[in-house]
């Protein structure tokens, strides 16, 4: 009887897992308009990576510059680009494959991961005419394009990422979806995440945090992919995406990059764009107001303007970030919605909510009993104090450099880091006092010439450090 009940409970949990992953996939599927064919060439090519037949379409074949368009998840596949191809084909040799596993290409029980798709693109480009290549990817296609640029950037003229998904730790992704769907149960979450994370998201995550399955194991074998993911390319690619760690790849992307993003995107949050904008040295972010995840479908005219700019102009890239300037002492006491920018020799935030630090250079940042968001900023410490000290506080950082022997000290706090570079830190994060929680996405620690990836979620007790 006990064994039967255990089996029943496990089946119930796995059903919830399937539903969760399906919801994740459906959220990434755009609804496309199918227009009359504007393609000069439509053919099948053989891909050795997935042992697949790949449906490939081309337009503007005689043009001397190549534009390779990579779609996201969804049955429409490459046809999502149909409405913009006639204009593009006047100047570019436009190529749009249906990725293996999607559209008219072969589908199988394969590991449809960003790494494997990047290998597919490498083989595809090698077999195409030698021309300057611009690679543009939307949603999952953006994650694939970013992966390709990290490994084969020298072969690209420029990179365009359109509402790209990825980069965030699976728990950060889970929290985002939980805010959108209150009954969303997310599979494969860390068993170490404590309830002190707070929020509805955490309560939902706890329900599935103890599933006795390693997602990497599920992805690695055909039998488990069939059993748990129904051998479905959409589910496989979605899970493989959230399991991919981009921490060590971002700084390898030297290709001039444009980031085109809908400001209302609830699937690929604007946070991802901010992380990319901070970490890619030759990137520029172009926002599309009031548009969501698929701007080419929501407002084609606005999207065309943005895309043509990305194709014709060079991104400005990053100016140098000085560490010394006229500095001031900052303070926030029992205030809400305060914004800090500029240079601070010290900054103290006490009992404040919805505080924003943006484009700031701060030494000795102390936060107590507060909620703070930090973006595109540099935090500095010394031999005597950490760059950032938290007590009973919640902080979200999206794109920052933290320069200190000890980067962050935590006491009864939670911190969510994405795209953060710790420089010269013996300890990136150190816990003191009462337990705290940390979530790291696509972050790195540079110490003595070595680089360590920080893509994890865990609770920390006094004396523990990263």
Let me know: does 167 contact 419? Beta carbons within 8 Å. yes
Total domains in the chain come to 3
Burial (0-12, 13-18, 19+ Cβ within 10 Å), 184: buried
Let me know: does 322 contact 353? Beta carbons within 8 Å. no
* 417 SS3 class: strand
Q: Is the pLDDT of residue 183 over 60?
A: no
pLDDT digits (tens, 9 = 90+) for 127-175: 999 999 999 999 999 999 999 999 999 999 999 999 999 999 888 875 5
Residue 318 domain-assigned (yes or no): no
Mark 294-328 as b/e (b = at least 16 C-beta within 10 Å).
bbbbbbeebbbebbeebbeeebeeeeeeeeeeeee
Residue 323 domain-assigned (yes or no): no
Domain that holds residue 21: 2-26+168-242
Question: How many helices (H) and strands (E) are present in the chain, helices listed first?
Answer: 12, 20
**195 and 293 both lie in a single domain:** no
**Residue 387 sits in a domain of what CATH number?**
2.160.20
Residue 466 domain-assigned (yes or no): no
pLDDT digits (tens, 9 = 90+) for 239-279: 899 899 999 999 999 999 999 999 999 889 999 999 999 99
Q: Per-residue DSSP letters for 215-273?
A: HHHHHH-HHHHHHHHTT-HHHHHHHHHHT---TTTGGG--S-EEEEEETT-SSS-HHHH
Interatomic CA distance for residues 440 and 182, integer angstroms: 23
**190 and 223 both lie in a single domain:** yes
Residue 276 domain-assigned (yes or no): yes
Mark 140-163 as b/e (b = at least 16 C-beta within 10 Å).
bbbbbbbbbbbbbbebbebbbbbb
**72 and 153 both lie in a single domain:** yes
Domain boundary residue among 242, 270, 296? 242
**362 and 415 both lie in a single domain:** yes
Residue 125 domain-assigned (yes or no): yes
pLDDT digits (tens, 9 = 90+) for 331-341: 999 999 999 99
**332 and 447 both lie in a single domain:** yes
Let me know: does 437 contact 418? Beta carbons within 8 Å. no
pLDDT digits (tens, 9 = 90+) for 69-85: 999 987 789 999 999 99
- Enumerate the β-bridge partners of residue 409: 389, 430
Domain boundary residue among 242, 268, 290? 242
| Cβ-based neighbour number of residue 285 at 10 Å | 18
**405 and 263 both lie in a single domain:** no
Q: Is the pLDDT of residue 26 over 50?
A: no
Beta-strand ranges (E) seen in 50-118 are 52-59, 65-70, 92-97
| Cβ-based neighbour number of residue 194 at 10 Å | 16
Q: What is the mean pLDDT of residues 436-462?
A: 92
Q: Are strands 158-162 and 133-138 parallel, antiparallel or unpaired?
A: parallel
**200 and 217 both lie in a single domain:** yes
**373 and 355 both lie in a single domain:** yes
Residue 317 domain-assigned (yes or no): no
Q: What is this structure's pTM? A: 0.84
**333 and 305 both lie in a single domain:** no
**127 and 256 both lie in a single domain:** yes
**196 and 156 both lie in a single domain:** no
Let me know: does 103 contact 78? Beta carbons within 8 Å. yes
Residue 254 domain-assigned (yes or no): yes
CA atoms within 13 A on the CB side of 10: 10
Helix ranges restricted to H, 67-198: 85-88, 114-126, 140-152, 170-180
Interatomic CA distance for residues 143 and 9, integer angstroms: 35
Domain boundary residue among 257, 284, 312? 312
Q: Is the pLDDT of residue 412 over 80?
A: yes
**Residue 121 sits in a domain of what CATH number?**
3.40.50.1820
The C-alpha torsion from 350 through 356 and 360 to 363, rounded to 10°, is 20
Interatomic CA distance for residues 352 and 184, integer angstroms: 30
Residue 334 domain-assigned (yes or no): yes
Q: What letter would DSSP give residue 353?
A: B
- What's the Rg (C-alpha) of the chain? 23
| Pick from 57-66, 289-298, 380-389, 393-402: least confident | 380-389
Q: For all residues of the chain together, what is the average pLDDT?
A: 84
**39 and 14 both lie in a single domain:** no
Interatomic CA distance for residues 66 and 133, integer angstroms: 5
């Amino acid at each position: 009887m006990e064994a039967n009940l255990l089996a029943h409970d496990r089946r119930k949990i796995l059903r919830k897992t399937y539903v969760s992953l399906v919801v994740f996939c459906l959220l990434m599927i755009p609804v496309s308009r199918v227009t009359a064919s504007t393609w000069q060439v439509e053919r099948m090519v053989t891909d050795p990576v997935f042992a697949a037949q790949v449906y490939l379409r081309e337009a503007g074949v005689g043009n001397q510059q190549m534009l390779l368009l990579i779609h996201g998840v969804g049955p429409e596949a490459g046809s999502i680009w149909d409405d913009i191809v006639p204009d593009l084909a006047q100047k570019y040799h436009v190529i749009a494959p249906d990725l293996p596993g999607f559209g008219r290409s072969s589908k199988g029980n394969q590991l449809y991961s960003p790494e494997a798709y990047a290998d597919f693109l490498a083989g595809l480009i090698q077999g195409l005419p030698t021309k300057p290549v611009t690679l543009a990817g939307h949603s999952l296609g953006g994650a694939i394009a970013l992966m390709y640029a990290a490994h084969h950037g020298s072969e690209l003229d420029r990179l365009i990422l359109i509402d790209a998904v990825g980069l965030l730790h699976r728990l950060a992704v889970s929290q985002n979806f939980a805010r959108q769907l209150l009954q969303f149960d997310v599979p494969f979450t860390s068993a170490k995440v404590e309830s002190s994370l707070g929020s509805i998201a955490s309560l939902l995550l706890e329900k599935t945090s103890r599933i006795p399955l390693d997602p990497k194991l599920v992805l690695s074998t055909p039998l488990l992919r069939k059993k748990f993911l129904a051998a479905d390319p959409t589910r496989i690619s979605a899970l493989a995406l959230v399991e991919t760690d981009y921490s060590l790849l971002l700084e390898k992307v030297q290709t001039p990059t444009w980031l085109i993003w809908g400001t209302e995107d609830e699937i690929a949050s604007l946070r991802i764009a901010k992380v990319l904008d901070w970490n890619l040295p030759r990137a520029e972010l172009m926002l599309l107001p009031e548009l969501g995840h698929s701007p080419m479908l929501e407002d084609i005219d606005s999207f065309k303007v943005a895309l043509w700019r990305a194709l014709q102009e060079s991104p400005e890239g990053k100016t140098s970030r000085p560490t010394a300037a006229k500095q001031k002492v900052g303070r926030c006491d029992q205030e809400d919605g305060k914004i800090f920018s500029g240079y601070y020799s010290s900054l103290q935030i006490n009992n404040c909510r919805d505080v924003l630090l943006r484009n700031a250079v701060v030494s000795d940042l102390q936060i107590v009993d507060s909620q703070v968001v930090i973006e595109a900023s540099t935090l500095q410490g010394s031999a005597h104090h950490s760059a950032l000290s938290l007590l009973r506080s919640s902080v979200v950082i999206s794109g920052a450099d933290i320069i200190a022997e000890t980067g962050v000290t935590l006491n009864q706090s939670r911190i969510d880091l994405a795209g953060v570079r710790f420089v010269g830190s013996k300890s990136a994060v150190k816990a003191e006092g009462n337990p705290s929680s940390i979530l790291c996405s696509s972050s790195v620690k540079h110490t003595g010439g070595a680089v360590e990836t920080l893509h994890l979620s865990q609770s920390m007790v006094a004396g523990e450090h990263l």
